[in-house]
Chains A and B, each alone.
Chain A
């Protein structure tokens, strides 16, 4: 599970994340929503161990990220919004190297690599250089890497960007299966339909603070209209639709 307590990140005088607390339980898909610049990616990067929090505490499967970063990271899979890939390695080489970083080595690791490549429909590209991959293929390769070491918790930043409908469907199925096996998934997304369809709980962040947290029906109820679409709920909670301004400008 992922547990975050009073997380704060300041850049000089600017507070990007201001006291965020949330919990993602085993088997739960938790949607992390918010407008651009609200603090989603900063929060996720802190949980991934890429940014140092100004204050607060992060626990991954019971391991304190600050006190025991290696154990915390070992049980976490991370899918960043702009992932780094070694372009001159083949897909198979990249996955084998990535697996090695998480202690996946020796007999059986090659089978696991092929299994993941097949799962994400990249099997026939195992020996091709990453530089020849399309954006969607790269995205799927990063997901292979994130699930390769059988993590107990997964962080995903914008998973659907650049994926075709088939790819998006595949990812949704994989996420559902993984959560069914007890993996805790924290997923940041702008695609509210995806959040509505997949997430057990959602948190909405605005100006670095969590302004809504709960199941999808609970969040709908917060907006005053339990039957409303999540898009409308999101717009109401984060500051209006802006349609009036659009009319004026157009």
Chain B
């Protein structure tokens, strides 16, 4: 019965495979809808990437040698972008797969050779860290290949190139994690990584602004494009795997072979993997042991928050619920670091409005500005929906196993849910109003729109935060590990679908009468009484739908909480 030789490392991947099979056999509520929504979005994105790559490669073919140069540099630049992403992703994923994953408690206690454990976790790390890049690269390279009528060997080499290309930065990132975890306890290292991730994202934003890609959109600036790529080259570029991958694929695209760079990819990946295996044998157990240590609390004082809360004109119960939620939020790095990242992206979004040079089109500038104002309104609505699903929707679920405290306390569940609403509503309103008012100010929109947009944002905030709070209570996931998991649940997706529809309806209901008003005002034509009636009806409908959504959301939530057993 006992086997003479240890089972090979893929044996350790069996639980994931069996669990996936069991999940597929035993469908849960919402699985079909989730599959349809995500599958649909995935298909659209894949087709868009394929079409974009195909169109661009096709266009470049018209420019002869310049087109070839741009394609070659473009491939290299594309891989360079992924290189840093993969390295960072490797650091974060390895922290979980090698040190914090719950099943390690079972595996480390079992008599498994370190090399088997290493390879099993390594395969998992590579898969988890690089799947997004692979999913993005597959339609892209397919588009390039089809546009260039590449031989079949191009596609085979594309696979054989992407594998070592993904492995190299992930191995490097994993090695960095090994070093990090042996210096800090793993849970502290995770916080450190969260902040590093934030800085990484901020640096990408700054980099994008620094290279100003919008200048490429000008027709007269074609000579600038070669200069643009030239600035991305540096003396160290030929030593990077991104360059090797780009060169290998470009050679294959033209029916040739670039064995030097292809072999450089594979030998580097193999050598780094062996080095990482040695590092694993030397440092993994001490790092894993460190990871068992509990984390130290941060922001343990926050007395100003208590003082501030006592001044609010709210009941004792609501005050304590509010203070508890605020403290939990500030002590969870994953929460506020994501919010900061969102703020950074918003600043980038606003900056783009600032650099938009619409006055170059004198006759159309005011029309385009006002069209942009509606785009801005819709974007604000989508940002609001995203923030709500990520931060407001998981509000009830975040109580987790501690929800019994609320359930057994002598408080009304209505009070509990309204406290969740207000703690979500105020920041969402401030954030989205800032986005709308600043965006419209930078665009220089008509005063009518400058007043209308903040009012609409107020209505949308009430509706979406109310709906997120209510549906969050209707579809709670108390057993979820983190807020992202809750946001991706059936209820979260249902909320996102409803929220997007809501935003589109509101923008349409507000956009039509507002554009009618602007049209008449621009041509100095009076608006007929019937049209005024139609406009009022639209604004009224937008208001009623918003307030009804708010009321429906909260009522659903309160009822659902009452029905929880």
Contacts and interface: CB of A to CB of B under 8 A. Distances in A.
B112 interface: yes
Interface in A74-108: 74, 78, 80, 83-84, 86, 88-90, 93, 97-98, 100-108
B7 interface: yes
16 contacts: A50-B108, A52-B289, A88-B23, A89-B15, A89-B19, A90-B22, A93-B15, A93-B22, A98-B106, A98-B110, A102-B110, A103-B3, A104-B2, A105-B1, A105-B2, A106-B1
B128 to A, nearest CB: 17
Interface in A13-42: none
Nearest to A109: B1
A48 B106 CA distance: 10
A70 B112 contact: yes
A13 to B, nearest CB: 13
Contact of A84 (B6, B106, B111, B113): B106
A129 B26 contact: yes
Contact of A50 (B3, B19, B23, B105): B105
B107 A101 contact: yes
Given A51-B292, A109-B1, A86 B112 contact: no
B7 A100 contact: yes
B443 to A, nearest CB: 50
B7 A105 contact: yes
Interface string B1-31: 1110011000110110011001100100000
A89 B293 contact: no
A71 B6 CA distance: 12
A88 B102 CA distance: 14
A100 B11 contact: yes
A102 B110 CA distance: 7
B286 interface: yes
Nearest to A146: B109
Contacts of B292: 45, 50-51
A71 B288 CA distance: 20
Given A52-B289, A88-B19, A73 B111 contact: yes
Contacts of B15: 86, 89, 93, 97
Contacts of B3: 103-106
Counting contact residues on chain A (CB < 8 A from B), the size range is: 35 or more
B563 interface: no
A232 B23 CA distance: 51
Nearest to B113: A70
Interface in A46-83: 48-52, 69-74, 78, 80, 83
Contacts of B285: 52
A51 B289 contact: yes
A107 B1 CA distance: 6
Nearest to B102: A84
A73 B109 CA distance: 7
A149 B2 CA distance: 9
A103 B3 CA distance: 5
A130 to B, nearest CB: 10
B62 interface: no
B6 A103 contact: yes
Nearest to A86: B15
B357 interface: no
Contacts of A104: 1-3
Given A11-B293, A52-B285, A97 B14 contact: yes
B104 to A, nearest CB: 8
Contacts of A11: 293
Nearest to B15: A86
Contact of B103 (A49, A50, A80, A86): A86
Given A70-B113, A97-B15, A109-B1, A129 B22 contact: yes
B413 to A, nearest CB: 27
A36 B409 CA distance: 28
Contacts of A106: 1, 3
A112 B108 contact: no
Given A100-B7, A107-B1, A129-B26, A49 B112 contact: no
A100 B10 CA distance: 12
B514 to A, nearest CB: 51
A32 to B, nearest CB: 17
Given A50-B105, A51-B292, A100-B7, A71 B111 contact: yes
Given A69-B111, A104-B2, A105-B3, 8 more contacts: A48-B109, A50-B292, A73-B109, A83-B105, A98-B110, A102-B111, A103-B6, A106-B3
A43 to B, nearest CB: 13
A149 B111 CA distance: 12
B1 A70 contact: no
Interface string B291-332: 011000000000000000000000000000000000000000
B286 to A, nearest CB: 6
Contacts of B289: 50-52
A70 to B, nearest CB: 4
Given A52-B289, A101-B111, A93 B18 contact: yes
Contacts of A98: 106, 110
Nearest to B107: A101
B271 to A, nearest CB: 27
Interface string B175-186: 000000000000
Contacts of A102: 110-111
B23 A49 contact: no
B2 A89 contact: no
A70 B111 contact: yes
Nearest to B11: A100
A72 B111 CA distance: 8
Contacts of A107: 1
A39 B514 CA distance: 70
B110 A89 contact: no
Contacts of B106: 83-84, 98, 101
A92 B364 CA distance: 70
Contacts of B18: 86, 88-89, 93, 97
B113 A103 contact: no
A101 to B, nearest CB: 4
Nearest to A90: B22
Contacts of B107: 101
